[in-house]
């Protein structure tokens, strides 16, 4: 089942609510654009890299902090943005006292990103099958990481160690019934269909001028 405009996906572990603005299905699988709402204390599930994808985050409101290759940056003004190139180690979190909202635009492998993050990782979190931070447990992580290694790789432990460890664990995990992407999550309906919240004029102007939204 493809992801559609206005669909809402939620990760209770990460305190994250995603509303689809432009789904990969409308861009030939190349790009997805999402409104991301994060409650205070919420954060992405772990430091990671996108080997073949570029991400841009644009703040709408609140205060969101980023660690990119060990360098800390805080977005706290409407319209501020940060570009994450392919292969850069990064993580982000809501550093404010109110719900934050930012636009996340991912270019490259967007259809597979939606399948991994919105379907598999969010589904696991909804079912309580992750750590409190939203990370899959070891056997699940082994099969999911190997299946989606072109899309996202968590950075701990180091990738060569993960490849060796998961290469050993994945056959065992599959025998126990673990799947890289659970078919149930692929067909799980979004929590709701929402009306897209308008973008501030300056943010909309930048996005539309680049034919991004």
59 by Cβ neighbours in 10 Å (0-12 / 13-18 / 19+) ranks as buried
Over range 66-95, report the average pLDDT: 97
Phi, psi of 97 (to 5 degrees): -100, 5
Residue-level pLDDT at 208: 56
Neighbours of 129 (CB within 10 A): 13
Over range 166-183, report the average pLDDT: 97
Tokens for 40, please give them. Answer: 């205070």
Neighbours of 154 (CB within 10 A): 18
Over range 24-46, report the average pLDDT: 97
pLDDT band for 1, please (50, 70, 90 cuts).
Answer: confident
Q: Is the pTM here over 0.75, yes or no? A: yes
Nearest to 196 by CA among 3, 32, 22: 22
Tokens for 113, please give them. Answer: 């990103």
- Average pLDDT of every residue of the chain: 95
Domain map (residue ranges) of the chain? 7-209
Does 52 score more than 80 pLDDT? yes
The CATH class of the 7-209 domain is mainly beta
pLDDT band for 213, please (50, 70, 90 cuts).
Answer: very low
């Amino acid at each position: 089942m493809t992801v559609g405009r206005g669909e809402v996906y939620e990760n209770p572990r990460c305190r994250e609510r995603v509303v689809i603005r432009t789904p990969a299905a409308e861009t030939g699988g190349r790009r997805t654009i999402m409104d991301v709402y994060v409650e205070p204390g919420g954060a992405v599930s772990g430091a990671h890299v996108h080997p073949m994808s570029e991400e841009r985050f644009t703040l709408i409101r609140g205060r969101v902090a980023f660690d990119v290759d060990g360098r800390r940056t805080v977005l706290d003004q409407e319209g501020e943005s940060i570009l994450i190139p392919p292969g850069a180690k990064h993580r982000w979190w809501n550093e404010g006292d109110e719900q934050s909202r930012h636009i996340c635009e991912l270019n490259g492998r967007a259809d597979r990103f939606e399948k991994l993050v919105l379907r598999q990782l969010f589904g696991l979190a909804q079912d309580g099958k992750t750590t409190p931070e939203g990370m899959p447990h070891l056997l699940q992580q082994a099969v999911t990481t190997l299946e989606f290694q072109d899309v996202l790789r968590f950075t701990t432990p180091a990738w060569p160690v993960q490849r060796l460890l998961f290469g050993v664990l994945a056959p065992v995990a599959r025998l126990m019934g673990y799947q890289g992407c659970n078919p149930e999550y692929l067909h799980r309906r979004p929590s709701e269909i929402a009306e897209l919240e308008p973008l501030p004029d300056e943010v909309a102007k930048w996005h539309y001028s680049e034919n991004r939204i």
